[in-house]
Chain A
Amino acid sequence: MSAISQALSGVKVAEFGAYAAGPHIGKMLATFGATVVHVESRSRPDGFRAEYPPYKDGKPGLDRGGCFAIFNDSKYAVTLDLKNESGVDMAKRLIGWADIVIENMRPEVMSRLGLGYESARELNPGVVMISSCNMGQTGPRAYTPGFGSQLSALAGFCGLTGSPEGPPQLLYGPYIDFIASSLGAAAVLAGLDRQRRIGQGALIDLAQYESGLMFVASALFDYHKIGVVAERAGNSDPNAAPHDAYPCRAGGWLVLSCWSDDEFGRLAGMLGQPGLAADLRFATIEARKINEKDLSAIISQWSLSQDAEEAATLLQTARVHAYPVNTIADLFRDPQLLYRHVWRRRRHGVIGDLACYFSSFDLSEVPGDVTGAAPLLGEHNSMVFQDFLGVSDDEYVEYQAKGAFD
């Protein structure tokens, strides 16, 4: 969507994906210049368009959803009826055009439509295709349906969150989906690079479950090696004390941690109690771990009168690990995130002015950008099929009449 050269300019992506795990791969590629076409149909629009709030003015609608908007900026949107032969024809032409095909349907759905990897490769020998689903394309539970929010429990995350005495805790949204999308983006880019160098395509089978396990790989390693089962431990860490969240003025929270006795000495100074560093209850990491509750009470007594933001700044000045617990609203005023322009406001066709998430990284020579807010359902049918794929006016009208673009 930009004339400015970007890292992935000229890279063409067809995305047969919905919800989070597929579309977020395309979003990351689009942010760095790939031309990404998001495929839906009027009878089966992306579930994130209408099934999940928030909506513009609180009224649900296919083009009113913020949930869809946040994972689909900088893309083109088309509608294709894949239950209609003419729609499948057009989908094949789109696959023939693309360098990368992203799909996150249940296994074999694409093959049944005649759009699986074997067919795609006949249309386009160098195509890089990623199939991303809960369990992967094979195995006894390959066809088990599932939501990312619950898959986060199967992959161990919920059981590892919360206090040891209480129940597991929910993580927000489909936590694990974004692990899978990040790993999926890395895999398709590796495949694309190989294609560009030697012409060879790739089929990538990415299980969201297995992707998530890479984020607990050391706990799994420990279990296999010595049989230790990691347990949720509140906010504590075996190698640091203190290491927790502390309540501040006006409902704010502050996290801080000390990784050495020296650092604890500096913290004690900032608390106005330098004597704590020599107090036998707290002088060493071992002692501080044993007396963590007492220490926590002392720090909380101090923190309750502090502003979290000011306290973190002061502690960092003294070289103590600290940060305010940012709420979601705070992410829009955090000075470091503002400096990095993490939120970029773009005009959405129905929602209006909208904050779009940019990226966790940027490139020095060819920076990325959010080139436009998320598209409306089927907004770019004519542009994609006629301008990008070269479908003639007559043919476009013919396919339209057959219901291909419904």
Chain B
Amino acid sequence: MLNGYTILDLSNRVGWLAGRLLADLGADVIRVEAPGVSIAGADWQAYHVNKRLLRLDIQTVDGKRTFDQLIPDIDILIDSAQPGDAFVQHLDWARLKQLNPRLIKVSVTPFGCEGPRAGWLASDIELMAAGGAMSLAGEPDGAPMRVTVPQSYGWAGAQAAVGALTAVVHRTATGIGQHVDVSAQAAVILASSHAAAFWDMDGKNPTRCGAYLTGRSMKGARYRAFWPCLDGYLNFMLYGGPAGRRTNTQLVAWMRELNSPLGVLENIDWKRFDPKLATQDEVDELERPIANFFLGLTKRKFLDEASRREMLGYPVSTMADIAADPQLEARDFWYDLTGPDGHQQRHCGSFAIVDGVRPPLRHAPGEEVNIDRLLAELKTDSTSGNA
């Protein structure tokens, strides 16, 4: 959908996903790295697939000149320069606007381009803390936790793609470029869903609840969210309401079919079951036979059977489980291509199916384009009105 747009990606790790998403949507994304910078890491490969690589040292005089030659003919520049960074003045929006008034410059930085903490250092753990997400993950009496695989860069990059395209739609209507200022800290707030409303409306500060769901019972009972099974954990909860009723009824039917001891589940009328009214003792009694039943299941068995029975609940997947999921296979989610080392690589494919087709990944990570060729392409595109 974005065919014909050229994007220069100078961002650091906080912004890498933005260009990947825009490439998946059809844009020609040029990733810039100085000569010699390693591109071997999994992060680099996964988030720069579908982009082309331009080796250019933008810190040198020649590099700066070349960069300025590119600017008039590109549509979007993505960067992560913070106040105080060496290259920040060269990326100054007022200066770049002179070179290309239609340019959309997207700054993806930890805290945004201005403000009292715009120059603060932050990696994923600082951003997950600054955006509130860590305060909501981990055991209630333990340390706040981040997700082990960095998430804040995902939030920032995804929001940067939205910001870039908001500006693109405006430019298509008016011809005017602009500066999009993305704060990773503010993007992480999205991970906390509606938690802010509890503080704003009730003065209650939501906290982390570990592996249990609290706050559903008026009698203070907590409900188990994660259950050991044969090969890992399952995520299942005793819900009320129509969806919970169906799930719980189906679970008991399944247990009965396999002659699994039902305990108190034998006599529960799920139409009347209300999680709000249960005491901890009652919840424990309900959960005991379920825990026993789940111990005999594999994650895959649970996934298949819960899906067939239209029950709520999923296994706690590892990367290996996800890689083997037939749902993803059936939707051609994975995309195989030959990597820079000559070996086959498997990537997450384009994130959406458009008009019935998942757009193929067009470039292996590290597929180089040299500057002369790129400049020639851009000139051709601009004279043909493509850009």
Residues of A at the B interface (CB closer than 8 Å) are: 7-8, 10-11, 20, 28, 32, 48, 51-56, 58, 66-67, 69-71, 135-141, 143-147, 150-151, 153-163, 166-175, 177-179, 182-187, 189-194, 196-197, 202-207, 209-211, 213-225, 229-235, 237, 240, 243-245, 247, 253, 255-257, 259, 316, 319-332, 334-337, 339-340, 342-343, 351, 354-355, 357, 359-366, 368
Contact = CB atoms under 8 A, between A and B. Distances in A.
B205 A328 contact: yes
Contacts, number: 492
Contacts of B147: 157, 160-161, 171
B42 A218 contact: yes
Given A182-B158, A360-B156, A167 B186 contact: no
B330 A139 contact: yes
Contact of A361 (B160, B205, B211): B160
Contacts of A359: 159, 186
25 contacts: A8-B170, A11-B169, A48-B194, A53-B198, A70-B196, A139-B328, A153-B317, A155-B317, A157-B147, A159-B318, A161-B147, A178-B193, A182-B161, A187-B351, A189-B166, A214-B351, A220-B348, A221-B345, A221-B348, A222-B319, A335-B117, A337-B186, A355-B197, A360-B183, A360-B186
A128 to B, nearest CB: 9
Contacts of B124: 237
Contacts of A168: 211, 226, 233, 235, 316
A240 B115 CA distance: 27
Interface string B20-39: 11100110000000000000
B88 interface: no
A193 B138 CA distance: 42
B201 interface: yes
B84 to A, nearest CB: 10
A113 B151 CA distance: 38
Given A172-B191, A222-B319, A363-B170, 18 more contacts: A54-B197, A145-B243, A156-B319, A175-B191, A178-B190, A190-B2, A217-B47, A220-B323, A235-B143, A245-B125, A256-B126, A323-B122, A327-B207, A336-B117, A337-B186, A360-B184, A360-B186, A360-B190
B352 A255 contact: no
B43 interface: yes
Interface string B103-134: 00000000110111110111111111111111
B77 to A, nearest CB: 13
A224 B323 contact: yes
B276 to A, nearest CB: 11
A357 B165 contact: no
A226 B134 CA distance: 30
Contacts of A324: 129-130
B182 to A, nearest CB: 4
B152 to A, nearest CB: 10
Contacts of A177: 193
Given A167-B233, A173-B194, A185-B162, A191 B1 contact: yes
Contacts of A194: 1-2
B333 interface: yes
B328 A210 contact: yes
B169 A150 contact: no
B144 A220 contact: no
Contacts of B176: 365
B258 to A, nearest CB: 21
B93 to A, nearest CB: 7
A8 B166 contact: yes
Interface string B344-371: 0111100111111000000000000000
Given A11-B169, A171-B147, A182-B190, A357 B178 contact: no
Contact of A220 (B46, B137, B210, B237): B46
A135 to B, nearest CB: 6
A174 B193 contact: yes
A147 B160 CA distance: 26
B242 to A, nearest CB: 10
Nearest to A224: B346
B382 to A, nearest CB: 16
B181 A362 contact: yes
Contact of A339 (B115, B123, B154): B115
Contacts of B151: 157, 215
B23 to A, nearest CB: 11
Given A158-B235, A168-B226, A331-B132, A56 B201 contact: yes
A146 B314 contact: yes
B200 A20 contact: no
A223 B148 contact: no
B87 interface: no
B314 A363 contact: no
A199 B233 CA distance: 49
Interface stretch (B265-273, B284-292, B305-313): B305-313
B148 A328 contact: no
Contacts of B356: 203, 205
B329 to A, nearest CB: 8
B241 A51 contact: yes
Contacts of A205: 352-354, 356
A173 B190 CA distance: 10
Nearest to A207: B331
B181 A69 contact: no
Given A197-B172, A210-B328, A155 B205 contact: no
A285 to B, nearest CB: 14
A265 to B, nearest CB: 15
A58 B142 CA distance: 29
A189 B158 CA distance: 13
A174 B191 CA distance: 8
Contacts of B346: 221, 224-225
B148 A141 contact: no
Given A51-B241, A145-B312, A171-B137, A204 B353 contact: yes
B322 A186 contact: no
Given A135-B327, A215-B151, A54 B135 contact: no
Contact of A193 (B17, B111, B168, B191): B168
B196 A336 contact: no
B136 A153 contact: no
A328 to B, nearest CB: 5
Interface centre among A184, A206, A210, A360 (most CB of B within 10 A): A360
B136 A172 contact: yes
B146 to A, nearest CB: 6
A32 B206 CA distance: 29
A140 B331 CA distance: 9
A69 B6 CA distance: 38
B86 interface: no
Contacts of B207: 327
Contact of B354 (A54, A56, A202, A336): A202
A254 B47 CA distance: 30
Q: Which 6 A-B pairs have the closest CB atoms?
A: A173-B193, A66-B197, A153-B235, A189-B165, A339-B115, A361-B163
Nearest to A216: B149
B8 interface: no
